[in-house]
């Protein structure tokens, strides 16, 4: 059974930094691209970042480009999201999501339960 | 690519046939997927690549469309189907979601 478990969400001050982690199990992690998707309180889903199976081709939403960095460690079956210069607009539930494809152009077939990031002074 | 869903919300009764539309700002070549999201739960994939039913999902859900226009249909609404539904394109980066359609009890 596929499991995605996010961690690292906390309350952080504006301008601060944070690192989210996602541990995966139940599938051949090396064979799939992975994403981060977020949902601000009371709003819809927003795609944040993609990393392909081999760590290549990271891509980002315009709203986080230059501030967030996605990475992965296939030995640890984990992905990460380094978040810098956080602002109140980054307050959201952050989901770790598995792509059904190698290259990242597929649907999001498994989601974690999410980890909350709150940016507030 | 901008994704626009209609309606933004709808009220329906158990047993009703429900249709939700999703329009892309340009051709996305059927790289269109549908998700169901309930409060406090992770979103769930229903339909991928416009018309393929995700394993384990009830056959009362179906998808159709091509080019820029896509539709999610629930053939006979069940109590557990009251939720928010999102479309999403994976044709190009950045991946984008529609704004969501809330299906409420009439």
Condensed to tens digits (0 to 9), the pLDDT of residues B52-61 reads 999 999 999 9
pLDDT at A61: 97
Q: Is B91 on the interface with A (CB under 8 A)?
A: yes
pLDDT at B106: 86
How far apart, in Å, are the Cα atoms of A57 and each of A20, A65, A100, B30? 20, 14, 16, 22
Q: Is A19 on the interface with B (CB under 8 A)?
A: no
Phi-psi region of B25 (alpha: psi -120 to 50; beta: other; left: phi over 0): alpha
Q: What is the pLDDT of residues B70-103, one digit of tens each?
A: 999 999 999 999 999 999 999 999 999 999 999 9
pLDDT at B100: 98
| Nearest one of B90, B86, B84 to B49, comparing CA atoms | B90
Q: What is the pLDDT of residues A3-52, one digit of tens each?
A: 999 999 999 999 999 999 999 999 999 999 999 999 999 999 999 999 99
DSSP codes joined into one string, B30-85:
T-EEEEEE-TTS--EEEEETTTEEPTT--TTEEEEEETTEEEEEESS--GGG-SEE
Q: What share of chain B has pLDDT > 90, as a percent? A: 97
pLDDT score of A57 more than 80: no
- Kindly state the average pLDDT of the residues B24-51: 97
Q: Which of B44, B90, B100 sits opposite A106 (nearest CB)?
A: B90
């Amino acid at each position: 059974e596929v499991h995605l478990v996010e961690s690292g969400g906390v309350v952080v001050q504006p301008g601060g930094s944070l690192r989210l982690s996602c541990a995966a199990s139940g599938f051949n992690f090396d064979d799939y691209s992975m994403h981060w998707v977020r949902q601000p309180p009371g709003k819809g889903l927003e795609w944040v970042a993609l990393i392909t199976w081999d760590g290549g081709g990271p891509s980002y939403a315009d709203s986080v480009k230059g501030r967030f960095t996605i990475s992965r460690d296939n030995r640890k079956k984990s992905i990460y999201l380094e978040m810098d210069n956080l602002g109140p607009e980054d307050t959201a539930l952050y989901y770790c999501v598995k792509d059904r494809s190698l290259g990242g152009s597929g649907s999001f077939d498994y989601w974690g339960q999410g980890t909350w990031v709150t940016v507030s002074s | 690519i901008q994704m626009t869903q209609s309606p933004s919300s709808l009220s329906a009764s158990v047993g009703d046939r429900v249709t939700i539309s999703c329009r892309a700002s340009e051709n996305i070549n059927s790289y269109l997927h549908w998700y169901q999201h309930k409060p406090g739960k992770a979103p769930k994939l229903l339909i991928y690549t416009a018309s393929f039913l995700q394993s384990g999902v009830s056959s009362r859900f179906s998808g159709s469309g091509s080019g820029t226009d896509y539709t999610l249909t629930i053939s006979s609404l069940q109590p557990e189907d009251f939720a928010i539904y999102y479309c999403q394109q994976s044709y190009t980066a950045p991946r984008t979601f529609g704004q969501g359609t809330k299906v409420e009890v009439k």
